[in-house]
Structure 1
Amino acid sequence: MFTIASTPQLYPLTDRAVVALTGAERVKYLQGQVTADIDRLGPGDACAGGHCDSKGKLWASFWLANLGEQLLLVMNQSLVARQLPELKKFAVFAKTEIDDVSDHWQVCGLAGEGLSHWLNHQVGDGNLWQGGVIIPVAAEHALLVLPKDAELPDLPRGDEQEWRGLMIHAGLPDMSAEHQGDYIPQMLNLQAIGGISFNKGCYMGQETVARAKYRGANKKAMFILEGEVEDEVAVNQDLEMQLGDNWRRAGTVLSACRQGNECMLLTVLNKDLDADTLFRIKEQPDSRLRLRPLPYELTD
């Protein structure tokens, strides 16, 4: 279920937003706003990251790329309405412009066996390409961000649902507006995918993020569940876990992908759960889901 293709494929994505920072102080400004270390990113470099409120709760998780003259944040489109004003709040004091430039870019997923070889042949050294950028997100998985008028690579096309499944399979968070203000970055495992720097200095929400690491204050993490469901599964639906003969609320759906009765989803749960714990969708009492091992080591 949701396995990577045997050859590279292109997945056009319609639900991605692109936010750009330009101006002389774009790097300095973003460095003081997000969890990632922007100073270490040269042109073509990219990483995961998060933007928090003053209490350390996420406005957005995103992928960040340095294009040289601008920084691009790629995120779930539903986040922008609340996140962008927060990101711009202090920009009036800096030489930077921050804009939703989604209309000027096209975003696609790239995945499949041999993708790294294909990219080396097509792009060569570095990730800048055709006025855009390739953002590696996992082994043989990448985001392709190109100008709207750029020609897309001649690769077999996959669909958006498949890409969502691949991202869940890889344990990569994709939070939506329904969860803004609910989670600190470690609850979405951003530290496990290089999205948090613990030595970069101050940024919005940094004290909470540091406390979660150094004082063990965080008891939750993001997990993959897979199994059978009865119907569609939507973001923010309630999940229940079995305790003896009873069921108790455990969390909500962060993102999900369904093929027939099979489903794979991401959710935030307590870290001390038994590996054989049984779950279900609250509105689907006959559904059954179990934990799937994460493809990376989970740390604080």
Structure 2
Amino acid sequence: MSLEKQVTAFRDPGEAAIVPLSHLGILEVKGKGAETLLQGQTSAQVGLAKGGFAPLTCFCTAKGRMLANAQLWQVSAEHYRLMLSRDLLASLHRHLEKFAPFYQAELKVQDDLILMGIVGEALGREVAEHYGMELPGASWHQANSNDQRTQLVRHPGEEPRWVLCSGDKRALTPAGIATPLSDPASWQAMDIQSGLAWLTADQQDRFLPQMFNWEALGGISFKKGCYTGQEVVARAHFRGQVKKRLARARVMAESLPEIGAIVCNDEGKAVGEVVAAVAYPQGATDILAVLSTQASETIQASETPAALTVGNSAVELLPLPYAIERVDPESLVQGL
């Protein structure tokens, strides 16, 4: 049976599910100097990724604008995987390829890996047991199978969930696990609920990492040395120069807003843009939008908040599940 024919409708809250993560992909970095290469190009403290912790990270231009945001995990010594939007794999490969020969590192877009989302505590334990792993309990923590072919990484959310990455084709239908595949939009909805946005090709070279709340998610180490764009990113943080932030909202729209759709205030002035959107079967649409911090603060402080719209549809701001404050990834690795 084909993958498409196995996929069910949008999952119900609380329902266990295996979700194909077709919108995401894997770029592998291997070789003697892989860690050094990544350390000089990414916002993560690469030394934290030692098989038990998988930090969020990003790659920037010299002006601090993101080329991609990603999650980094170690498979084994001198072998790393980056998970990011599938439509950015080729461009990030080209970017890093310019430096790879100097570090004896090899890059490869891995199209033969299975990348699935696992939703539900009981299902997570069943999958971990199947691959002989301990189930990671904290967000961004990781477990490896003994043969190092499979990794399981915990992601934040209202429901327990994990990313499963495997070179074992049995990952699609693990023995004894009879759970139907769910619509990929189910996972994207959980990302939006978690305030987690993945940069896409149309958004490259436009946003500081902080505009995606990346430091609030532990995706920026301010304790590491230099990397491309580090000076601009650090200056924006320490001088409080971030004028736009990721916000979560709901739109009652007849059609799904396009990525890049403009968010306007009640005067018709553009105050932000949509960076992620998913429609629920019931008719509501949840979005993540990069909004002017001034506009967001004005709305939150007012007893009669000014209206926001996308197209002709009203936008209702929703709370994020985390505070907008710096979270050092070094603190998240504690307890391993």
TM-score, normalised via structure 2 length: 0.81
Amino acid at match of 2:252: E
Cα distance in 1 between the residues matched to 2:168 and 2:73: 17
Kindly report which structure 2 residues correspond to 1:247-262, keeping only aligned pairs within 5 A, or say none: 247-260=268-281, 261-262=283-284
Q: Deviations over 1:244-299 (max 9, x none)?
A: xx3211222111001253100111112232224432222xx1x1111110001112
| CA pair 120-100 structure 1, distance change in 2 beyond 3 A | closer
Q: Which residue of 1 aligns with 2:262?
A: 238
Can you give the 5+ residue segments of structure 2 that lack an aligned partner in the other structure? Answer: 1-9, 135-141, 327-336
Cα distance in 2 between the residues matched to 1:136 and 1:161: 18
Match 1:64 to one of 67, 72, 84 = 72
Q: Which residue of 1 aligns with 2:332?
A: none
Displacement over 6 Å in runs of 4+ = none
Q: Do the aligned partners of 1:5 and 1:112 also contact (CA within 8 Å) in 2?
A: no
Match 1:50 to one of 39, 47, 58 = 58
| CA pair 4-170 structure 1, distance change in 2 beyond 3 A | farther
Q: Do the aligned partners of 2:118 and 2:124 also contact (CA within 8 Å) in 1?
A: no
Q: Which residue of 1 aligns with 2:154?
A: 136
Match 1:297 to one of 320, 323, 331 = 323
CA deviation after TM superposition for structure 1 residue 45, in Å: 2.6
CA deviation after TM superposition for structure 1 residue 83, in Å: 2.2
Q: Secondary structure at the match of 1:150?
A: helix
Can you give the 5+ residue segments of structure 1 that lack an aligned partner in the other structure? Answer: none
CA deviation after TM superposition for structure 1 residue 227, in Å: 2.7
Two-structure CA RMSD over aligned residues (Å): 2.1
Amino acid at match of 2:61: D
Which one is further off, 258-267 or 179-188?
A: 258-267
Structure 1 residue 147 corresponds to structure 2 residue 171 = no
Instruction: Give the structure with the higher percent strand.
Output: 1
Structure 1 residue 127 corresponds to structure 2 residue 135 = no
Amino acid at match of 2:76: G
Q: Which residue of 1 aligns with 2:334?
A: none
Q: Which residue of 2 aligns with 1:219?
A: 243
Cα distance in 1 between the residues matched to 2:133 and 2:91: 38
Cα distance in 2 between the residues matched to 1:95 and 1:233: 44
TM-score, normalised via structure 1 length: 0.90
Identity %: 27
Amino acid at match of 2:290: V
Structure 1 residue 190 corresponds to structure 2 residue 214 = yes
